[in-house]
Amino acid sequence: DLIATPGKIDFEEGRKGMEFAEKIIMNDEYDIVILDEIGVAVEYGIVKIDDVLKLIDNKPEKVELIITGGPKMHPKIKERADLLTEMRMIKHYYSSKGIKARIGIEH
């Protein structure tokens, strides 16, 4: 399995990540903010859906918020999106070369 059961550290890092995301989204310094794989964090309960929705609903108008994270994106995130794109894997080194998820790359 590529994703282990989330542990205490995952929830702590998720909380810190959301605090950081809110800070940079609301400080009006950046035009584009990418919350990479936050959909997976929501799916596993590491990040609360209500916290993500709050960011979406309260972000400054000028901020382009890009949210990624797997095929099981929460329906409430999909409802609020202005643009939805679905990507499909054609080839991946996990299966073609047996490479496992690496710290600092995939997680």
Task: Tell me the domains of the chain and their CATH numbers.
Answer: 8-96 (3.40.50.300)
3-15 pLDDT, tens digit each: 678 999 999 999 9
List Cα–Cα distances, 106 to 25, 50, 67, 71, 99, in angstroms.
Answer: 24, 25, 16, 16, 11
Residue matched to tokens 């797997």: 70
Tokens coding 39: 């959909």
The DSSP code for 35 is: E
15 Cβ partners below 8 Å, 6+ apart?
A: none
Which pLDDT belongs to residue 74?
95
28-87 pLDDT, tens digit each: 899 999 999 999 999 999 999 999 999 999 999 999 999 998 778 999 999 998 888 888
37 Cβ partners below 8 Å, 6+ apart?
A: 68, 69, 70
pTM of this prediction? 0.80
Which pLDDT belongs to residue 2?
54
